[in-house]
Amino acid sequence: MLDRKKYILASNWKANFTLEEAINWFEIVSRLNYPDLRIIAAIPYPYIHYFATRYNNIDVFSQNISHVLGGAYTGEVTISMLKSVGFRGSIVGHSERRHLFNESNQIINKKVLILQENSTEIILCIGETLEERKEGKTERVLYDQIISALNGFSRFELLTVAYEPVWAIGTGIPISPHDLTEAERFIRKIFEDKFGVKNIILLYGGSVDKEFAKVIRNQTTLDGALIGSASWKPHNFEEIIRIFVEH
Ligand code: PEP
């Protein structure tokens, strides 16, 4: 039998979707049942309970989580709230959180450890800015982001890493296949050398569309993709899904 890889495709909704649009998306995407594919939907907090309790073939994640456990922190959404509404895990360290909301590597580390403590899955986003890439600092930045986020972490079975170059997110310009292969090799080597972890689950994110899905599928050994805008229209997302499962 062919040893087929189980791909992961994660849709990051960001601050989009009404409840009606969200129901439409789940209705269409949940009809796609492929044994070699795991679909994750990282959706806004208010919708988590509704979808986590209704659709069992799409794993519902949050896009963020508080670094505090509870108390006088107006507006924060904590691990115990999210667990009580059935979420499966959370994205941590998305570049929009890092850059627009000033999340430091230390805060990201706190979030990772809270998720570990609660045996909950983590999609850890890492990635360099354009300036850092131009200055030849990509490897340094990725190394620092990984090492600081995972200080005190040991439950690698809970972890998925998403390499998302900041300059490729939402710009329509994905990384070149050559640079992606280099980054993949570098990230995998950090996990092997520093943590003794072979085959860390590794996704790419940043302007993934149908065409770039083919690059990931056919020119890398990545485990899938984290996808923003190209996943918001369910039929577009379906086309990307088909590239991973039908080629
Ligand atoms: C993202 O938000 O993680 C992302 C990769 O967005 P886009 O696919 O729109 O670049």
How would you classify the pairing of strands 224-227 and 7-12? parallel
**The pLDDT of residue 116:** 98
pLDDT digits (tens, 9 = 90+) for 197-233: 999 999 999 999 999 999 999 999 999 999 999 999 9
Q: Are 167 and 207 in contact (CB under 8 A)?
A: no
Closest-CA residue, ligand 1 atom 1, reads 228
Active site residue ranges: 94, 164
In this prediction, residues 134-141 reach a mean pLDDT of 98
Domains defined for the chain, CATH in brackets: 7-246 (3.20.20.70)
Share of the chain above pLDDT 70, in %: 98
Taking the centre of ligand 1 as the mean of its atom positions, its distance from the CA of residue 172, in whole angstroms, is 9
Quickly state the pLDDT bin for 5 (edges 50, 70, 90). Answer: confident
Taking the centre of ligand 1 as the mean of its atom positions, its distance from the CA of residue 198, in whole angstroms, is 26
**The pLDDT of residue 1:** 42
**The pLDDT of residue 3:** 55
In this prediction, residues 55-73 reach a mean pLDDT of 97
Taking the centre of ligand 1 as the mean of its atom positions, its distance from the CA of residue 99, in whole angstroms, is 14
Nearest Cα residue to 162 out of 194, 208, 130, 111 = 208
* Predicted model pTM: 0.96
Share of the chain above pLDDT 90, in %: 96
Q: Residue 12 CA: which ligand 1 atom is closest?
A: 2
In this prediction, residues 235-242 reach a mean pLDDT of 97
**The pLDDT of residue 4:** 63
Average pLDDT, the chain: 96
* Per-position DSSP letters for 24-73, written without gaps between them: HHHHHHTT---TTEEEEEE--GGGHHHHHTT-TTEEEEES---SS-SSS-
In this prediction, residues 69-78 reach a mean pLDDT of 98
Closest-CA residue, ligand 1 atom 4, reads 228
